[in-house]
Amino acid sequence: MGVKPGSVVFRWAVRVSGFLLALAFVLAGGSKVADPAAFAEEVMRYQLVPWAGAVVVALWLPYLEILGGLGLLWRPVRAGARLVVTVLLLTFTGVLISALRRGLNLDCGCFGRLTGPTTVTQAFWRDFGLLALTAFLWAPEFAGRVRRITAAEGDKEKG
């Protein structure tokens, strides 16, 4: 790989992926805010939670997505937002895989009415793409840790 941690290209990749994820999350959350009743029905289609659970998800998740997305753009909570966004994406992917395995024939409901009908498979690949973007968010820290470890090992060798 020609792109090294700390290089200008890498820093921009991190910035752009953060921005794209923020946009995706704010749009996804925003599209569901207007009609929690309809979103609760969407959640029920996955047949994973009882109605009361679907209601909690329908009321809470849209705002969690919006704040998680916005948090990625605001330095003081960026680390937390990165965690929220990653955990949410992992959960969504898990839910979609479970729907695929059960052969559920449904429209994902991920972006409310913002996009046209999206099949579970399409939604899965979209989530997969977004998960790949989150890798960039974690990369600087990971790279930093690797640097620290190699530096420490280097110190040991010296000593």
Partner 1 sequence: MTGWRQAGLILCASAIPGAFSAAFHPRRPGWVQDALKPGEIRLADVEGWRGTVRWVDARSNGDYDLGHAPGALHLDLLSWPAAFPLFLDQWQPGEKVVVYCGASSCHLAEEVAEKLRANGIDSVYVLQGGWEVWKARHPSQ
115-121: long-range contacts, CB 8 A cutoff, minimum separation 24: 120/96
Is residue 89 a contact residue for partner 1 (CB under 8 A)?
A: no
What's the closest the beta carbon of residue 154 comes to partner 1, in angstroms? 27
Count of C-beta atoms within a 10 Å radius of residue 110: 21
Is residue 111 a contact partner of residue 28, using CB atoms and an 8 Å limit? Answer: yes
Q: Which residue stretch of 15-23, 100-108, 120-128, 142-150 sits at the interface with partner 1 (rule: CB under 8 A)?
A: 100-108
Q: Provide the mask over 42-81, with x wherever binding to partner 1 is found by CB under 8 A and - wherever it is not.
A: --xx-x---xx-xx--xxx-xxx-xxx--x----xxxxxx
Nearer to partner 1, 13 or 104 (CB): 104
How far apart are alpha carbons 131 and 57 in whole angstroms? 21
Among 1, 2, 8, 37, binds partner 1 (CB under 8 A): 37
Structure tokens belonging to residue 92: 């969504």
Tokens of 9: 């290209």
In the complex, the smallest distance separating the C-beta of residue 84 from partner 1, rounded to whole angstroms, is 5
Shortest separation between residue 103's beta carbon and partner 1, angstroms: 5
What residues between 129 and 158 interact with partner 1 by CB under 8 A? none
- Judged by CB under 8 A, does residue 101 bind partner 1? no
Residues that bind partner 1 (CB under 8 A): 33-38, 40-41, 44-45, 47, 51-52, 54-55, 58-60, 62-64, 66-68, 71, 76-84, 87, 102-107, 113, 116
